[in-house]
């Protein structure tokens, strides 16, 4: 065997592999720079795996035209839930979720319907400071969520 017939092809294969990698790298950088994000809702990541069901409930509440008025009277938080015609929305199940700084668990307070469309929850004396809260009202598969910031 002569020297010409024993050519080593490994350097050529390594160069082809590196070249292919660089071409793929350039293509992926072009794709990432050109298409932009497919996420159009800023709240997508905050809702996690329940995003689609949450959006369906939110759209249902918007179609029904629900709106809520909030009032704080001392340590009692009151809500007035009305529909698009101004009528009271009664028999809704409501919960207020409080995020207390420095504690591991959230506090879940059920709302009580005191009159047709009027819901109330007593916050108690132990809750102080700036508290993030989430209000959730639901009736017949339609859910209304609101974020609140309470200062005591």
Question: Residue 16 and residue 25: Cα distance in Å, rounded?
Answer: 14
Identify the pLDDT of residue 112.
95
Identify the pLDDT of residue 80.
93
Identify the pLDDT of residue 142.
78
- Give pLDDT tens digits for 78-103: 999 988 888 898 999 999 999 887 77
The percentage of the chain sitting over the pLDDT mark of 70, rounded to a whole number, equals 77
**In 3D, which of 130, 139, 142 has the Cα closest to residue 100?**
130
Identify the pLDDT of residue 126.
79
Partners of residue 121 on adjacent β-strands: 77
Least confident segment among 26-30, 120-124, 127-131: 127-131
Q: Which residue matches tokens 């629900």? A: 66
**Residue 21 or residue 46, greater confidence:** 21
- Give pLDDT tens digits for 31-79: 877 765 555 555 555 556 565 666 666 666 665 678 889 998 888 999 9
Q: What domains lie within the chain, and their CATH numbers? A: 51-151 (2.60.40.1940)
Tokens of 72: 């704080």
The alpha carbon dihedral of 10, 12, 17, 21 has a sign of positive
Question: Residue 56 and residue 62: Cα distance in Å, rounded?
Answer: 10
pTM over 0.75: no
What count of other Cβ atoms lies within 10 Å of the Cβ of residue 149? 8
DSSP notation for 120-146: EEE--SS--SEEEEEEEEEETTEEEEE
**Residue 48 or residue 140, greater confidence:** 140
Burial class (CB within 10 angstroms; exposed 0-12, middle 13-18, buried 19+) of 132: middle
Tokens of 75: 């340590």
């Amino acid at each position: 065997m002569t020297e010409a017939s024993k050519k080593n092809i490994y350097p050529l294969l390594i160069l082809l592999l590196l070249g292919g990698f660089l071409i793929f790298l350039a293509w992926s950088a072009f794709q990432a720079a050109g298409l932009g994000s497919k996420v159009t809702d800023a709240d997508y990541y905050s809702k996690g795996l329940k995003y689609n069901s949450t959006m369906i409930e939110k759209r249902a509440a918007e179609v029904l035209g629900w709106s809520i008025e909030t009032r704080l009277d001392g340590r009692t938080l009151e809500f007035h839930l009305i529909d698009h015609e101004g009528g009271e929305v009664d028999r809704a199940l409501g919960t207020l979720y409080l995020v207390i700084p420095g504690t591991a668990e959230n506090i879940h307070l059920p709302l009580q319907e005191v009159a047709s469309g009027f819901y109330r929850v007593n916050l108690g004396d132990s809750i102080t400071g700036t508290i993030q809260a989430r209000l959730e009202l639901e009736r017949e598969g339609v859910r209304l969520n609101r974020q609140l910031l309470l200062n005591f």
